[in-house]
């Protein structure tokens, strides 16, 4: 008699055949690890383990032999029914392929690491990494249209970023999602490891505390160890994810108070942006700290010049003795270029003497270049992203022009100073922005949507000729660019620049539902656009979101020739470390 297998029995058999939950190992499978860089090693077991049955080997040897010391077995991590092995702050100096195998006597899990060396000699003395937050191809094209103009389809000039010889597509997905945020995206650049949304300088483990996750070392720390100067300048709050990725190790990017401490502990030489409240002791009016530490005073004691205005910043930078500076120019984000230079909206009336990103960078280079060992500087034009979230196209485009101005100044500086600076310009992720055409107010159509010109109807916009910095002095022209935002909450489309301040597309109503901001409802011809993002619950969106398209990386200078084709965002870290030869050399490399 033959056995007949019922569908039910087959299902049971298939279920039983599933492997039991296995260990999770950090760093994760296929991690590329810079030789000599520091990291935390962690193995998470799915249950409580008997220490006698646990083995963790690296290339067949006991892990303690390879990593220099044995990991600690935590019998009940965070009081839960799970055990972990943890070994903090280790490094591997000998380059090569490593297979890490962890067994609890029942299940076995292996991951592979690639530990890489760097050339013996530095190709570059300095590295400047520009990050246009959310800087997508449409922003770049729009910046070129406004800054250079075109005649008969050909541009009258190129952006500074256009005239760089090497380019690649970078893929930005994280360990948890195809869509990244500014935290794990910048983390990929500053550590060379993939991580998850909201994480900075750590892998995302099951640790309960945001500060307990397995750390990986940042470029700032590695460069400082080599005696180089390090800086991060931005027009976001300095604690915000992109600049914080230079120094921070936390699972939660909003740990601003901890991030200020991490800046202090990192002792990087230049840090500039907004976000002063998290530096002030709790008892000071306006403080956002939950302790009495006065970080302004701490930084001063540690030898930092303090600048709260553009005037103070340049005065400090011009002083040949200044080698360290903390610049905090706003309680929130520094205003973007359109408000700073033309409209004077946002917080410009309150903070009339803020530097823009170009000026921050110029002061930073002046100070950092006093270090004879060279420098690593991150320059972020942060509000391209923020204004793309709020679907404020003019403000986003002006900040893309500002980014390009900074790139132009950096290129000029590099040319005048030895041509030994690697310049990298990229974004951390994209937004769903695209140039659809123009809006033409000279059209006699009464409905605004019928003033949108597409194909030959778009023609060319009529912005005035730009000023010396590439900015037209008027955005509310009669034939203007029309940038469409592909992800949105419900909002009123007005087909016009927001002259009175940054656009606020949606707000939460009394029932907790995200609805279109009625402020724009009565603008003649405004069109209610029904959104395509969640409008209730924890994921309710009051603005546009990031997208998972690849970003462009553009590069020049020594080491830039490695930028080509399609690369993972983590490859950018390796390009920097190779240009600067940051791996230990000779005997120190375990050779």
Nearer to Zn ion, 237 or 385 (CB): 385
Least spacing, CB of residue 488 vs Zn ion, in Å: 14
CB of 553 to Zn ion, least distance (A): 18
Q: DSSP string covering 357-378, please?
A: HHHHHHHHHHHHTTSTT-EEEE
Residues 367, 317 contacting (CB under 8 angstroms): yes
Residue whose entry in the numeric block shows the structure tokens 């590329």: 32
Nearer to Zn ion, 86 or 382 (CB): 382
Q: How far is the CB of 385 from Zn ion (least distance, A)?
A: 4
User: What does the angle CA 271 – CA 272 – CA 275 come to, to the nearest 5 degrees?
Assistant: 110
CB atoms within 10 A of CB 105: 11
Q: By CB under 5 A, name the one of 44, 258, 294, 385 that touches Zn ion.
A: 385
> Which residue stretch of 108-116, 169-177, 382-390, 450-458 sits at the interface with Zn ion (rule: CB under 5 A)?
382-390
Choose the binding region for Zn ion from 377-385, 417-425, 443-451, 573-581 (rule: CB under 5 A): 377-385
Q: Is 428 in the site for Zn ion (CB under 5 A)?
A: no
Residue among 335 and 385 whose Cβ is closer to Zn ion: 385
| Minimum distance from residue 147 beta carbon to Zn ion (Å) | 24
Give how many residues touch Zn ion by CB under 5 A: 1
Pull the structure tokens for residue 251: 């699972």
Please state, in angstroms and rounded to a whole number, the distance separating the CA atoms of residues 379 and 376. Answer: 10
Q: Kindly tell me which of 221 and 430 has the beta carbon lying closer to Zn ion.
A: 430
Taking contact as CB under 5 A, which single stretch among the options 100-108, 269-277, 296-304, 381-389 is the one that binds Zn ion? 381-389
Using alpha carbons only, what angle is made at residue 242 by residues 501 and 307, rounded to the nearest 5 degrees? 70
Would you tell me how many other CB atoms lie within 10 Å of the CB of residue 370? Answer: 16
The CA distance from 517 to 531, in Å, is 12
Q: Are 355 and 313 in contact (CB under 8 A)?
A: yes
If the CB atoms of residues 280 and 427 are measured against Zn ion, the closer one turns out to be: 427
Part in contact with Zn ion (CB under 5 A); list of ranges 123-131, 153-161, 261-269, 383-391: 383-391
CB of 429 to Zn ion, least distance (A): 7
In sequence order, what are the beta bridge partners of 438? 453, 481
**CA separation for the pair 578, 575 (Å, rounded):** 5
Q: Which stretch binds Zn ion (CB under 5 A): 168-176, 270-278, 378-386, 395-403?
A: 378-386
User: Which residues inside 48-67 make contact with Zn ion, applying CB under 5 A?
Assistant: none
Can you tell me the distance from the alpha carbon of 230 to that of 223, in angstroms, rounded to the nearest whole number?
7
Name which of 335, 338, 337, 317 is nearest 326 in CA terms.
317
CA distance 95 to 462: 57
Minimal distance in Å, beta carbon 550 to Zn ion? 17
| Residues binding Zn ion (CB under 5 A) | 385
């Amino acid at each position: 008699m033959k056995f007949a297998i019922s569908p039910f029995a087959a299902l049971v058999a298939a279920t039983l055949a599933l492997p039991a939950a296995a260990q999770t190992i950090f760093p994760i499978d296929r991690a590329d690890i810079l030789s000599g860089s520091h990291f935390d090693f962690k193995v998470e077991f799915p249950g409580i383990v008997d220490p006698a049955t646990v083995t963790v080997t690296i290339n067949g040897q006991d892990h303690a032999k390879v990593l220099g010391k044995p990991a600690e077995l935590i019998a009940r991590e965070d009081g839960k029914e799970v055990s972990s092995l943890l070994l903090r702050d280790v490094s591997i100096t000998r380059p090569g392929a490593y297979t890490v195998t962890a067994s609890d006597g029942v299940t076995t899990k292996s991951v592979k690491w690639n530990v890489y060396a760097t050339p013996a000699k530095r190709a570059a003395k300095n590295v400047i990494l520009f990050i246009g937050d959310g800087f997508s191809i449409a922003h770049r094209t729009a910046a070129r249209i406004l800054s250079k103009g075109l005649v008969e389809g050909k541009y009258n000039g190129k952006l500074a970023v256009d005239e760089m010889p090497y380019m690649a597509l970078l893929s930005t997905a994280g360990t948890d999602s195809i869509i990244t945020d500014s935290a794990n995206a910048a983390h990929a650049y500053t550590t060379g490891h993939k991580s998850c949304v909201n994480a900075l300088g750590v892998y995302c483990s099951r640790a309960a505390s945001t500060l307990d996750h397995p750390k990986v070392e940042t470029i700032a720390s590695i460069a400082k160890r080599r005696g180089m100067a390090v800086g991060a300048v931005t027009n976001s709050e300095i604690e915000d994810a992109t600049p914080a990725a230079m120094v921070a190790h936390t699972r939660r990017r909003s740990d601003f108070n901890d991030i200020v401490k991490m800046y202090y502990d990192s002792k990087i030489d230049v840090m500039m942006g907004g976000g002063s409240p998290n530096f002030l002791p709790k008892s000071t009016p306006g403080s956002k700290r939950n302790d009495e530490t006065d970080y302004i005073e701490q930084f001063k004691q540690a030898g930092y010049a303090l600048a709260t205005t553009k005037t103070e910043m340049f005065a400090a930078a011009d002083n040949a003795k200044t080698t360290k500076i903390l610049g905090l120019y706003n309680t929130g984000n520094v205003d973007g270029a359109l408000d700073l230079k033309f409209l004077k909206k946002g917080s410009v009336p309150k903070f009339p003497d803020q530097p823009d990103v170009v000026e921050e960078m110029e002061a930073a280079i002046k100070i950092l270049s006093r270090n004879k060992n060279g420098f690593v500087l991150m320059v972020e034009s942060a509000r391209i992203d923020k204004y793309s979230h709020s679907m404020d196209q003019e403000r986003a485009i002006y900040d893309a022009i500002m980014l390009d101005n900074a790139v132009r100044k950096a290129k000029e500086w590099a040319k005048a100073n030895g041509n030994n600076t690697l310049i990298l310009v990229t974004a951390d992720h994209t937004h769903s922005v695209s140039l659809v055409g123009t809006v033409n107010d000279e059209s006699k159509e009464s409905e605004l949507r019928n003033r949108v010109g597409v194909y030959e109807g778009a023609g060319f916009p009529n912005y005035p000729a730009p000023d010396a910095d590439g900015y037209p002095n008027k955005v509310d022209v009669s034939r203007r660019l029309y940038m469409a935002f592909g992800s949105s909450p419900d909002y009123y489309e007005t087909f016009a620049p927001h002259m009175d301040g940054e656009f606020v597309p949606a707000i939460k109503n009394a029932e907790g539902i995200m609805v279109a901001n009625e402020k724009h409802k009565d603008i003649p011809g405004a069109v209610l656009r029904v959104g395509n993002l969640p409008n209730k619950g924890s994921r309710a969106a009051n603005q546009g979101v990031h997208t998972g398209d690849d970003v462009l990386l553009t590069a020049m200078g020594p080491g830039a020739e490695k930028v080509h084709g399609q690369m993972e965002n983590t490859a950018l870290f390796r390009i920097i470390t190779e240009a600067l030869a940051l791996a230990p050399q000779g005997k120190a490399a375990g050779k």
